[in-house]
Structure 1
Amino acid sequence: MEYLSVEEARAKEGLRLVLTAGVPGPFGEAAKALFRHHNVGFFPVRQKGGQDNPELVAWTRHRNAPVALYNDEAPRVRWLEILDLAERLGNGPTLFPRSIDERIAMIGLINEIAGENSLIWHARILMLHETVLAVGEQKARHNPMLQDYLYDQAAVEPARQRILALMDYLTKHINKSKSGYLVGNNLTAADIYYAYISNVIRPQPHELNPMPQGLRTSYELLEKLFGKAPSVLIDFRDRIFEKHLELPVNF
């Protein structure tokens, strides 16, 4: 994928989507999928993972990706803000369920998968802990993600327990679903976020998601710690990709 620099992007109008260059960041890939689903074009903008990104901060006040910027509107960084923007700008089937109860369920489920203190939040704490074990905490602290995720060693065991509880919940939830989707009878944003974030449970094969080896090794950590993941979690992810999402993943 070709990326604009921050300077180039600031001179553009329309939708600019800041993405971590060279890796399939799950939040960025999900954001891309939301806009593609709604046929919304965007300019990809380069963010450098794990770095300070001062030019990006000067523009958006945010160091991380994704950030969605539409014309002169405020930057959007939270998943629900980005989803709402895709729904407003685009066309095609909505990614929200129709009923109020199902919309509430979808938002809560995505929060457990993608929000603070979620599946991916705690998985990243364990990944950062592996770095601390390998190089020592003082050196590891050069990575600003330790501060972003409020890492300290006391957070490690709670992270393990939360991940196991969430994986157990998702396994039971998917097994109970008769529709083939996480919420309701059609594709929703919950399926999209789960599909990309589930790479932390088990990464997709290289031919489908040619992520850098260092990232793949990090994503293999949960199965190294907890054993083979329930097949239903992977089978569900694979079905969503086959039916609805772009393969191979292009970043």
Structure 2
Amino acid sequence: MITGTIFTLILLGGLYYFVFYPNQKLKRIRSSPILEVDGASTRYPNLPLGDLGVFFESNANRRIRVVFPKLTPDGDVQYIYSWHDLRFIRIPTSRGAGQGRINLKIAQELAFLMKEHIQFVEPEILNLRRQWHKINELLELVATSDFYASQQEIYERALLQVENLLDKAEELQQVYVRFIREVLIGRQVAGYDPTLLLSDSVTIDHQYKRIREEYQDMKETATAYAELLRTRQF
């Protein structure tokens, strides 16, 4: 009877450790913007934030993809996308002092900027470039047609709208990169003198908000125009 109870406890403990605990940990990781990866700074030297990075995605094998921001020797922003086993990932806490606390503070400030840049701005630019090439191909095609030549002006307008959107999206991307670069430079400076760390660091100013609002307005107009074109075709 005692042996059976012990076996049951061992079985339940193993079930928790190998099934329930990893699932719970994975759920917490997915909802955490900042992650700490054991050995990341050794694997990738000169990371401004040490072992801290931003959650990107996870797969069915419980492996986590983390993004580490870095400055190149030329001062450009570089993202390192890296897969890691669940065992080597932790959710950082605000406990501690010194450089670790500074890293966490800056990582928290960067998380929003990086996620917006990676998940919104970069995909938008890629999508707009694909649209531009597609519309340009159609424009060149209808220009050679006897039946569809009258639609050439429509595609020219659509191409112009996409070009304007692309210019604004790339301008928005430069704003993100500039902010991220300044935050990372601030981290390097704070490594020598923590008192030089900006209070609340570099916040998103009116320039970011203005450009983002302009881009959204242009996108809504372009979308409405595209819907109108589709309606006219039926």
Q: Is the pair's TM-score, using the shorter chain for normalization, greater than 0.5?
A: no
Q: Which structure dedicates a bigger proportion of its chain to strand?
A: 2
Q: Which structure dedicates a bigger proportion of its chain to helix?
A: 2
Q: TM-score, normalised by structure 2?
A: 0.29
Q: TM-score, normalised by structure 1?
A: 0.27
Higher relative contact order (Cα pairs below 8 Å, separated by 6+ residues)? 1
